[in-house]
Structure 1
Amino acid sequence: MILLNKTFKNREAEHVDIEDRGYQFGDGVYEVIRVYEGRLYAMEEHMERLDRSCREIQMSLPYSLEEITNNIKALVTKNELSTGIVYLQITRGAAPRVHQFPDHAQSILTAYTKPMDRPHQLLASGIDVVTLEDIRWLRCDIKSLNLLGNVMAKQEAKTKQCQEAVFIRDGQVTEGSSSNVFVVKDNQVITHPATNLILNGITRVKVLEWLKDKGIEVIESAPTPEQLTTADEMFITSTTMEVMPVISLDGTTIGSGQPGPITQSLQQAIVEDFDTKEV
């Protein structure tokens, strides 16, 4: 069962219009929302970011955030999803192909669910990452469908038997191909500020809140590649990867080569958060 606009339909019976602008131009936005034990996690924050992304590309929401939220909840229930994700996207709609915005296109919302376990093994052991030049456009703060730069980086990481690529732009670390990057040094946490050069991840925002609650100093300033290699700990955050320890960078061991204490405390914080919230 999928959600098409505000109607629940059989997935196999649906198709993409060949002139949908999301298909032809990547002209649209999306969100990936975690589901734990049948409950949508941080749904309000995801809806706020969806609304912002639409406004930034001058595209109207097809329905109110409340109606979208209610329909996504119903989709999770109809598909009996326990642990997994909801993928939601909105495109500017189908229209004869021109680069400028068409006058009469109707934006189209689609969503589907996917079972997906938490990455327990990697959360315990950590991952290996590589650094790559950040070749993406300058509006990474918009969660748009234009992901070719991210896709190419993720493939390069896979080729090198790593789980993530970390972008470097003008000598500064921005973010991962599908994550935000944090560095721990001398009990301080360093991460790129929420500018146009990164996506302000939902998990990123929550981690900043938890660090403040724990009394750990956060420096929102772009780390350097040297700060990564000399870090006591390093971790990335995302909806699907949660708080993921990084144990090596370009083949160099980070810290002790094991998930560090601050990383582990944040992993526990996210478990406590989704365990106690009914969304």
Structure 2
Amino acid sequence: MTRTVYVNGDYLPETEAKVSIFDRGFLMADAVYEVTSVLGGKLLDYAGHEKRLARSLNELDMVNPVTPEDLLEVHRQLVERNGIENGLIYLQITRGNAGDRSFVFPDTSVPGTIVLFTQSVPDLELPKSAQTGIKVIAFDDLRWGRRDIKTVQLLWPSMAKMAAKKAGCDDAFFVKDGMVTEGSSSNAYIVKGNKIITRPLSNDILHGITRATLLVYAAEAQFEIEERAFTIEEAQSADEAFVTGASTFVMPVIEVDGKPVGTGAPGPVARRLRELYIAEGKKAAI
């Protein structure tokens, strides 16, 4: 079945979707993106993703080509037209096509490019990895300094994931100055007793929407939250570890750089938080 995608105001079969070779998203990675999960045909944490998109655009002096109301309608139309029950919606906005290649930003009269497409993920709610846990390696964090802006500059995270795959693992924890910053496409956490430890917000990490929502739910469930950096060694000696992201929700980490975490199996805190996030997320989904 051919997907229906959205490109600059038009709903098109994916085989007919085109973006100019002069688009700055293609030439300069001059673009931002968001990924919103769909469960039961509804959008999870949509307001948070919309707010972060606006922030990313503002930080890069870019303009959203569509209104917030129209953007929500596009998401809903794509869910309906593609029959998505469980899955993801990818959104990307670039600075547009100035007609040639230049390091200098084009005039603001040049319209941005916006594309959205869906991915069906039938087992999104309970994939095998959530039941078995994942293994991560440590990987030097050599990304640019504005990781709080959700840009499409994803080469280094891709290299981290490939290094993990080569090592027989699933993912990576980025490490800078001896401390874990985050996962290659997620926020990272460790658990000690009833305490959840995660790095505080700054330019060093992405301001995760799942992170923000989960920490509210965790506090309401009487977990103690400590926002500070931690080391790989702390992760290895923790009771549990996990990561969060829009497409993974809460994912248990059972091994860090070759050493098992806790019992070497998904622990009760990660399982409880995943159940909590999904249950509450479904209630609030739109």
1:100 maps to what in 2? Answer: 104
Q: Which secondary structure does the structure 2 equivalent of 1:154 belong to?
A: helix
**Farther off after superposition, 205-214 or 117-126:** 117-126
How many residue pairs match? The answer is 279
Q: Percent identity?
A: 39
CA distance in 2, matches of 1:162, 1:114: 24
Q: Which residue of 1 aligns with 2:15?
A: 12
Which of 107, 116, 126 lines up with 1:111 in the alignment? Answer: 116
Cα distance, 1:15 vs structure 2: 1.8
Q: Distance in 1 between matches of 2:51 and 2:203?
A: 17
SS of aligned partner of 1:178? coil
Pairing 1:70–2:90 present: no
Contact 2:232 2:256 in 1 (8 A): no
The one-letter amino acid paired with 1:39 is K
Per-residue deviation, residues 207-238 of structure 1 (Å, max 9, x unmatched): 11111101111111111222111100000111
Distance in 2 between residues matched to 1:81 and 1:264, nearest whole Å? 26
| Residue deviations 1:165-196 (CA, integer Å, cap 9, x gap) | 10000011100100110000132111011110
- Cα deviation per residue 1:86-139 (whole Å; 9 max; x = unaligned)? 011000001111101111421011001110121521111101100011010100
Q: Which amino acid aligns with 1:67?
A: D
State how far apart, in whole Å, the 2-side matches of 1:273 and 1:195 are.
Answer: 27
Distance 1:263 1:13 in 2: 42
Q: TM-score, normalised by structure 1?
A: 0.97
**Partner of residue 205, structure 2:** 198
Return the letter of the residue paired with 1:79.
Answer: N
Deviation at 1:277, TM superposition (A): 2.8
Asked whether the equivalents of residues 30 and 50 of structure 1 are also in contact (C-alpha less than 8 Å), the reply is: yes
TM-score by length of 2: 0.95
Residue identity matched to 2:221: K
Structure 1 consecutive aligned stretches of length 4 or more whose deviation exceeds 4 Å: none
Confirm or deny: 8 A CA contact 2:241 2:252 kept in the other structure. yes
Q: Which residue of 1 aligns with 2:166?
A: 159
Deviation at 1:70, TM superposition (A): 1.1
Structure 1 Cα separation of the partners of residues 175 and 32 of structure 2: 24
**Alpha-carbon shift at residue 270 of structure 1 (Å):** 1.7
Partner of 1:25: 28
Question: Are the aligned partners of 1:6 and 1:71 in contact in 2 as well (CA < 8 Å)?
Answer: no
- Asked if residue 41 in structure 1 is aligned to residue 44 in structure 2, the reply is yes
In structure 2, stretches of 5+ residues that fail to align are none
Which among 59, 63, 76 is matched to residue 62 of structure 2?
Answer: 59
- Displacement of 1:278 in angstroms is 4.0
Q: Distance in 2 between matches of 1:278 and 1:128?
A: 30
Residue of structure 2 aligned with 1:50, choices 35, 48, 53? 53
Q: Distance in 2 between matches of 1:235 and 1:164?
A: 12
Deviation of 1:8 (Å): 0.9
Are the counterparts in 2 of residues 201 and 238 from structure 1 also a CA contact under 8 Å?
yes
Query: Counterpart amino acid of 1:2?
Result: V
Indicate yes or no: 2:180 matched with 1:176: no
CA contact (8 A) 1:22 1:93 kept: yes
